[in-house]
Amino acid sequence: MKENLKRMAGYYRPYLKTFILDMCFAFLASAISLIIPLVVRYITSQLPLLETQEAVRQVLTIGLVLIVLVLIQFGSNYYITNVGHVMGAKMEYDMRADIFSHYQKLSFAFYDDQKVGQLLSRITSDLFDITELLHHGPENLMISFIKIIGAFVILINISGYLTLAAFILVPIMFLYAYYLNKKMKRAFSQNRAKIAEINTQIEDNLAGIRVVKSFANEEIERDKFREGNDGFLQAKKNSYFYMGFFHSGMTAFTMLINVIVIMVGGVLIAKNMIPVSDFVAFLLYINIFTDPIRTLIDFTEQFQNGYSGFERFVEILNIEPDIKDKPHAVPLQNVKGDIVFDDVSFQYNDTAHRVLRHINLNIKAGSYVALVGSSGGGKTTLCSLIPRFYDVTGGCIRIDGKDIRDVTLRSLRKNIGIVQQDVYLFVGNVLENIRYGRPDATYEEVVEAAKLANAHEFIMELPNGYETDIGQRGIKLSGGQKQRLSIARVFLKNPPILIFDEATSALDNESESIVKESLERLAADRTTFVIAHRLSTIRNAQEIIVLTENGIEETGTHEELLQKNGVYAGLYQWAK
């Protein structure tokens, strides 16, 4: 916890001047609030003893001073509310930037085990509660301590008996709050987990809404959501159960303190042990005294809420990327495209079965290599090892003689282009999505890439051409159109190494023909890996590698593998 608090405090560093001013204004606003009861005490005890004219003069003078103090308090509270909140928003901005940046560093292995809704929750609702704590926490502590200490000093100077009466219930009040806060901490943690689960469910439903509707399964989705929502409601009920006891208890203790003071004060007045003016001032200070105690106790609720969110935040930041640059990694430059798999093995985790076993390949620059085999044979996994989406668990992969673990990830991936079956297009227009391949590309270069990908003609037929918005994940485009945009993106990137992961398997014959022509144009003079289920699309490959669960079963050209009458020949006959 100490380490987490130290880390949390680190977010104040860039805004230290603002934070100090915020604390100063909080101190000033609190100090001013302590003056009013003293003025009431003075007026009720001293002014009746003065002549009318002098009394009026003093009241007007006091009034002017109080108005000035109120204006100062107004300015202080404005700074706290406005600039203080902006400081909190900036800290939230920094935290969100930190966690988003960290998300970008984490490998595929991390995302394989995560749900998007859970990750989204940590970057939205969790951060809001954290920054509320970071902004209001120190401020509330400052205001509370100033008021409590100031009011206590004044109270004990007014009457020791009344002060003792007021403090009798305070220890019990704190014990009550401590017990319920432990219960609320557990309840708040459950709330966060349930909110994250609901976010996951909503994200999953909305992303797959077309599948839901195509199967007319809206009712099933509503039932699934209702189940999650019921769990969230139950968690909320549990937290509100304890919160109800907490807040009602605090109110009751505050009222009881006032009741005890009134009873003791009444006895003291009856015995002429305290003047009425002191009793009135004491009652006013009791409220100043009990309000910050309640604020202080409420702070524990705020702290539990915010700190549990910070723990979840730190939990992500503490995950070390399992794939990152070595300390002395060098850029991969002037890539030709020679790729060697030297006794490569891979498994997804310590308990999973080994996907690849002792793979040895020597791919010459500019080669067109096809990977075929049954599902689960490791074709996509093998290709994912080249850009280091996963790291080999045995052996090594070399590009132009350099172990890919010794070069920077950025330079490695800059030299590899990937066209996948499941094309991902971002929210925005056509131009922005193609330019994703090279953000500094000119408009003319984007158009040229689109022409090479056979995409220019259909783009110009769109309502706004290259400025046409394509919707979430390119939903306004057909499968073939989306695929051609992804190919244009890779043309623009212009990498020496290509990976086609079943890039045409989901397309109709007409679209496949167009996309295949684009892919062949893109593959010219580049080292190319093609993963294909349709064996007819790879007949011209210079080398076909047949992968099974046992590793590489066969290699050769289409004709050579047919003559062997082995695994490939069987797959080819079955496909026909």
Digit-coded pLDDT (tens) for 434-447? 998 888 889 999 99
Q: Is the pLDDT of residue 575 over 80?
A: no
Residue type, 286: I
Lowest-confidence region among 78-87, 167-176, 276-285, 464-473: 276-285
User: Taking the mean position of all CA atoms in its chain, how far away is CA 279?
Assistant: 54
Q: What are phi and psi of 187, to 5 degrees?
A: -65, -40
Tell me what pLDDT residue 211 has.
65
Tell me what pLDDT residue 330 has.
93
Q: How confident is the model at residue 225 (pLDDT cuts 50, 70, 90)?
A: confident
Q: How far apart are CA 196 and CA 354, in angstroms?
A: 33
Tell me what pLDDT residue 213 has.
64
Tell me what pLDDT residue 484 has.
85
Coil, strand, or helix at residue 419?
strand
Q: Which two tokens stand for residue 519?
A: 């892919």
Closest listed residue to residue 484, CA positions, set 458, 445, 448: 458
Digit-coded pLDDT (tens) for 42-64? 777 777 777 878 888 888 888 89
Q: Is the pLDDT of residue 350 over 60?
A: no
Query: Are 281 and 37 a contacting pair, CB within 8 Å?
Result: yes
Please, what sign has the CA dihedral across residues 546, 552, 557, 561?
negative
Tell me what pLDDT residue 385 has.
92
Q: What are phi and psi of 361, to 5 degrees?
A: -140, 150
Within 10 Å of residue 33's Cβ, how many Cβ atoms? Answer: 19
Q: How far apart are CA 561 and CA 576, in angstroms?
A: 16
Share of the chain above pLDDT 90, in %: 11
Q: How confident is the model at residue 512 (pLDDT cuts 50, 70, 90)?
A: low
Tell me what pLDDT residue 412 has.
92
Query: Are 541 and 533 a contacting pair, CB within 8 Å?
Result: no
Q: Which two tokens stand for residue 163?
A: 């002060």
Tell me what pLDDT residue 102 has.
87
pTM score over 0.85: no
3-state helix, strand, coil in the chain (%, to 5): 65, 10, 20
Average pLDDT over residues 392-407: 92
Half-sphere exposure of 61 (CA within 13 A, CB side): 8
Lowest-confidence region among 129-133, 333-337, 552-556: 129-133
Q: Which two tokens stand for residue 169?
A: 């219930």
Q: Is the pLDDT of residue 354 over 70?
A: no
Q: Is the pLDDT of residue 511 over 80?
A: no
Please, what sign has the CA dihedral across residues 84, 86, 91, 96?
positive
Average pLDDT over residues 502-507: 63
* CATH architecture for segment(s) 339-575: 3-Layer(aba) Sandwich (3.40)
Q: Is the pLDDT of residue 425 over 60?
A: yes
Q: How confident is the model at residue 10 (pLDDT cuts 50, 70, 90)?
A: confident
Tell me what pLDDT residue 442 has.
92
Buried b / exposed e over 405-422, threshold 16 CB at 10 Å, is bebebeebbbbbbbbebe
| Domain range annotation of the chain | 2-317, 339-575
CA distances from 482 to 109, 425, 504, 534 (A): 27, 8, 11, 20
Digit-coded pLDDT (tens) for 106-120? 877 787 777 777 777
| Helices of type H across 159-217 | 160-167, 170-207, 209-214
Q: Is the pLDDT of residue 194 over 80?
A: no
Q: How far apart are CA 205 and CA 218, in angstroms?
A: 10
CA angle 420, 422, 426 (to 5 degrees): 100
Digit-coded pLDDT (tens) for 364-379? 998 989 898 877 778 8
Average pLDDT score, the chain: 83
Q: Is the pLDDT of residue 351 over 70?
A: no
**Residue scoring higher pLDDT (24 or 279):** 24
Tell me what pLDDT residue 341 has.
93
Can you tell me which residue has the tokens 């600039």?
A: 83
**Residue scoring higher pLDDT (138 or 285):** 138
Tell me what pLDDT residue 288 has.
76
Q: How confident is the model at residue 214 (pLDDT cuts 50, 70, 90)?
A: low
Tell me what pLDDT residue 289 has.
75
CA distances from 387 to 105, 264, 419, 520 (A): 14, 79, 13, 21
Over the Cα atoms of the chain, what is R_g? Answer: 35
**Which CATH number is 2-317 given?**
1.20.1560.10
